[in-house]
Amino acid sequence: MPETLEIKRLDQRPMTESLLSKNKVKFLGLGSDEIIKYFFSGSAWTAIIVLALITFSLFREGAGFFPQHHDSLKLYRLAGLEFVDYFRDQMTAQASLSRYLNELKLNKTLKLQAAGKGEAEIESLLAPLEQLRLDFDQAGLEGQALLDEMTSMAAGIKDRYTISEENRISRKQLIDAGMKEEADLLEIEDIDFAKEAENLKTTFLPKQKEVSATMAAKMKSLLAATKVENTIYEAEVNRFKATVSKYITGFDSVQMKMQDWTHDKPVPFYESITKFITGTKWVTQSFWQDWYGIVPLFIGSLTVSIVALIVAVPLGVGAAIYINQVASIQEQNFVKPFIEFVAVIPSVVLGFFGIAVLGEGIRVFTQWDMMAWVPGFPIAERLNIITAGLLLALMAVPSIFTFSEDALNNVPKAYKEASFSLGANRLQTISRIMVPASLSGIISAILLGFGRVIGETMVVLLVAGNRLEIPDFSAGLMVIFQPVHTMTGLVAQEIPEVVKGSLQYRALFVLAIALFLISLLINYVAQIFVRKYKISVG
C-alpha cells in the first residue's frame, strides 16, 4: 500500500467540515443560488403574464359591448326605427330592381355597340326597355317620399331621446360639481315612447297602405303595358316581370309586419350576441342605426385566407419536399436562406407593392384581349380578394415551407433507407414513407401559415379593397375579383377615429377578442398535431 502524501491545499479545513459548511450567505432563508434561480423563474412567467394581460385588457374594453349593443337594439325598436325599416326594405328592393334594369340596359348597349350598331339604332332598339326603366322608377317616387318622411320622424324621436339622455348625464355631473343653476338650464325631456309609437303608426300606417297600393297598381299596369316580344332582352325582361310580381305580393306581409309592430316588445339579451355573430351588416357612425354584424368581415378574412392558402400550400409544401428530398446541396443553401428572408419583408411593404404594382398588374392582365373569353373579365376593382390573397400567400409560404421542412427532416433516416433498400424509388419513398410520416407536422405547418394570414393586417388593409359587404358568391369563382373588408383591416381602419368607450370602440375590441381567440385556437390545434407527430415517430 503506497504512502499517501499530504496535500497542501488552499482550503485547510478537513473535508468533513467543509462539506457541511452549506449556505454561508443566506437571505430570507435562501441561498444566493436559489435567489438567482427564483429571479430567473420569475421572468419565465412573462409569456403567461402577457397572455393574461392581453386577455384582461381586451375583455375589459370589449365586455361592455353586449350590454351597450343591447341598449342600442332596444332603442331601435322603442324609437320606431324598426317600424320604418320594414318599409325601407320594401323600397330598397324596388331600388335594386330598378338598378337591375339600368345594368341590363347598359349591358345591351355595350353588346350592340360591339356588334357595330349606330347610336340611333341602339336607342330605338332599346326604347321599350328605357321606357320600362323610367316608369318603374316613377312608380317608386311616392314611396320614397313617404319613406323620407317616416325616416325623419323616427330619427327625430331617437335624437330627442339621445340628447335628453346626454343632458341627464351632464346635469348629474353639474349637480355633483355643485353648479345647480347651470344644471337647471339643461332641458330634459321624458320621451313617451308609447305615445310616439302610436303617433307613428296612426300617421303612417294608412299612408303606407295607400302608397303601396298605388305602387302595386302602377307596377302591374306597367308590366302589362310593356311588350318586349322578339327583342334581344325578352328573356331578361320576362324574368324581371316575374320578380316584380313576386315583389308586389310581398307588400301584404310588409303591411302585416308594420301592423303588428309594437314598440315595447322586449328585446332579449341574447339578441345582442346573436345579432353580432350572425349580422350581415357593419354600419357605423350612421345617423340612423349602427349595425355590428361580424359576418361580412369574417367571410372577408376567410376568403382572403383561403385564397392565400390555396396558393401557398402547394408551393410551400412542394418546395419543402423538393428542398428536403430532391435538391442538391447548393440549391438547398441558396433556397433556404432566401425563403427565410422572404419572411422578414415587412407586411406594409408588401401592401404597398400590392397597390403600386400587383393590383394594377392583375387588372391589366384581365384587360388583355386574349383573356376576354373569361366571363367577368376585365375586372373593375384593382384591389380585391385575389390581390390580397396572392400577397398573403407570399407571407404564408415561409412558415409553411420552414415547418414542413422541419417535419420532413425529423423523419428518422432509417425509414427512408429501409424504403430504398426494398427497391422503392425516390417518389415512392416520398409519397409512401416521408409524407405520411411527417403529415401531422405538415398539417401543423399549414395551420400556422393560416394563423399568420388570418391575423395579417397591413396587406389586407391596403389591398383587399375594404368594401363592407359580403362578396357575391353567385359569381362563382369570379368572386375572387371582388373587394372585401377583413376583421383585422377594419380594426386598424376604425380605431383611430372612434370615441373611447363608445359602442363602436367596444365592438372593435370584441373583434380583437375574436381574432385573439381564433389565433389561440389555431396555434393550439397546430401544437396538438405536432405532439401527436412526435409520438408517432417515437
Partner 1 sequence: MQNKSNNPFLKVSTPAKRQETAFFWLFRIATYIIIAAAGYIFFDIAYKGVGVIFQLKAPFVNVPFLTEWPETLDIFKLPANQDMKMEVSQYARMTYENPKVNFVEKGTLEMVIFKSPEGVMKKVLPEQKEAFDADPISHGWSVLSERAVMQVFQLKEVSEIKIGNTLYRSLVDDNEGVPPLEHKTQVYAAGGIYPAIVGTVLLVVGSMIIALTLGVLCATYLSEYSRSGPIINFIRLSIMNLAGVPSIVFGMWGYAMFVLLFGWNVSLMAGWFTLAFMVLPIVITGSEESLRAVPQGFREGSLALGASKWQTIYKNVLPYALPGILTSSIMGIARIAGETAAIMFTASFVVRDELPWQVKHAGEFFFNGVMALPYHIFVVSARVPQNVYTEKSSMARHSSSWSSF
Partner 2 sequence: MSNAPTAIEVENVDFYYGNSKALHDISLKIPKGLVTAFIGPSGCGKSTLLRCFNRMNDLIDGTSVKSGKIKIHGVDIYSKEVDVIELRKRVGMVFQKSNPFPKSIYENIVYGLRLQGINDKKMLDEVVEKSLRGAALWDEVKDRLDDYATGLSGGQMQRLCIARAIAVEPEIILMDEPCSALDPIATMKVEELIDELKKKYTIVIVTHNMQQAGRCSDFTAFYYLGKLIEFDRTEKIFTNPSKQQTEDYITGRFG
Which residues form the interface with partner 2 (CB under 8 A)?
Answer: 1-5, 7, 9-11, 14-16, 18-23
Place of cell 305615445: 195
Closer to partner 1 by CB, 249 or 333: give it: 333
User: DSSP secondary structure string, 112-135?
Assistant: HHHTT--HHHHHHHHHHHHHHHHH
Instruction: Return the one option of partner 1, partner 2, none that residue 154 interacts with (CB less than 5 to 8 A, by type).
Output: none
Q: Helix crossing, 46-62 with 503-537: angle to 10°? A: 150
Closer to partner 1 by CB, 180 or 426: give it: 426
Measured CA to CA in angstroms, residue 489 lies from 28, 301, 395, 472, 484 at distances of 52, 9, 16, 20, 10
Among 444, 443, 433, 446, residue whose Cα is nearest residue 324:
433
Closer to partner 1 by CB, 457 or 504: give it: 457
> Shortest approach of partner 1 to residue 70 CB, angstroms?
22
> Shortest approach of partner 2 to residue 46 CB, angstroms?
23
Closer to partner 1 by CB, 157 or 513: give it: 513
Instruction: Return the one option of partner 1, partner 2, none that residue 43 interacts with (CB less than 5 to 8 A, by type).
Output: partner 1
> Shortest approach of partner 2 to residue 16 CB, angstroms?
5
> Shortest approach of partner 1 to residue 391 CB, angstroms?
9
Closer to partner 1 by CB, 8 or 500: give it: 500
Instruction: Return the one option of partner 2, partner 1, none that residue 99 interacts with (CB less than 5 to 8 A, by type).
Output: none
Closer to partner 2 by CB, 10 or 120: give it: 10
Closer to partner 1 by CB, 140 or 451: give it: 451
Tell how many helices (H) and how many strands (E) occur in the chain: 23, 2
Closer to partner 2 by CB, 4 or 46: give it: 4
Instruction: Return the one option of partner 2, partner 1, none that residue 7 interacts with (CB less than 5 to 8 A, by type).
Output: partner 2
Instruction: Return the one option of partner 2, partner 1, none that residue 5 interacts with (CB less than 5 to 8 A, by type).
Output: partner 2
Instruction: Return the one option of partner 1, partner 2, none that residue 246 interacts with (CB less than 5 to 8 A, by type).
Output: none
Q: Helix crossing, 81-114 with 234-249: angle to 10°? A: 170
Establish whether the linkage from the previous residue to 314 is cis, with ω within 30° of 0: no
Please give the backbone phi and psi of residue 296, each rounded to the nearest 5 degrees, phi first.
-60, -35
Among 477, 233, 517, residue whose Cα is nearest residue 377:
477
Instruction: Return the one option of partner 1, partner 2, none that residue 488 interacts with (CB less than 5 to 8 A, by type).
Output: partner 1
Structural contact between residues 146 and 204, judged by C-beta atoms closer than 8 angstroms: yes
For 269, residues 6+ apart whose C-beta sits below 8 A from its C-beta are 66, 70
Instruction: Return the one option of partner 2, partner 1, none that residue 25 interacts with (CB less than 5 to 8 A, by type).
Output: none
C-alpha–C-alpha distance, residues 538 and 536, integer Å: 5
Read off the amino acid at residue 38. Answer: Y
Closer to partner 2 by CB, 10 or 47: give it: 10
C-alpha–C-alpha distance, residues 81 and 66, integer Å: 20
C-alpha–C-alpha distance, residues 6 and 445, integer Å: 65
> Shortest approach of partner 1 to residue 329 CB, angstroms?
15
> Shortest approach of partner 2 to residue 42 CB, angstroms?
21
> Shortest approach of partner 2 to residue 13 CB, angstroms?
9
Which residues in 232-387 belong to E strands, given as ranges? Answer: 282-283, 291-292
> Shortest approach of partner 2 to residue 12 CB, angstroms?
11
For 207, residues 6+ apart whose C-beta sits below 8 A from its C-beta are 146
Measured CA to CA in angstroms, residue 54 lies from 44, 323, 510, 520 at distances of 17, 39, 13, 12
C-alpha–C-alpha distance, residues 385 and 359, integer Å: 10
Please give the backbone phi and psi of residue 283, each rounded to the nearest 5 degrees, phi first.
-125, 125
> Shortest approach of partner 1 to residue 530 CB, angstroms?
9
Closer to partner 1 by CB, 5 or 344: give it: 344
Residue 30: strand, helix, or coil: strand
Structural contact between residues 370 and 471, judged by C-beta atoms closer than 8 angstroms: no
> Shortest approach of partner 1 to residue 29 CB, angstroms?
18
Cell numbers representing residue 263 in the block: 314598440
Instruction: Return the one option of partner 1, partner 2, none that residue 23 interacts with (CB less than 5 to 8 A, by type).
Output: partner 2
Instruction: Return the one option of partner 2, partner 1, none that residue 21 interacts with (CB less than 5 to 8 A, by type).
Output: partner 2
Closer to partner 1 by CB, 212 or 303: give it: 303
> Shortest approach of partner 1 to residue 437 CB, angstroms?
18
> DSSP assignment, residue 500?
T
Instruction: Return the one option of partner 1, partner 2, none that residue 519 interacts with (CB less than 5 to 8 A, by type).
Output: partner 1
Closer to partner 1 by CB, 216 or 321: give it: 321
Query: Up-side HSE of residue 1: CA atoms within 13 Å toward CB?
Result: 1
Instruction: Return the one option of partner 2, partner 1, none that residue 18 interacts with (CB less than 5 to 8 A, by type).
Output: partner 2
Residue 140: strand, helix, or coil: helix
> Shortest approach of partner 1 to residue 356 CB, angstroms?
6
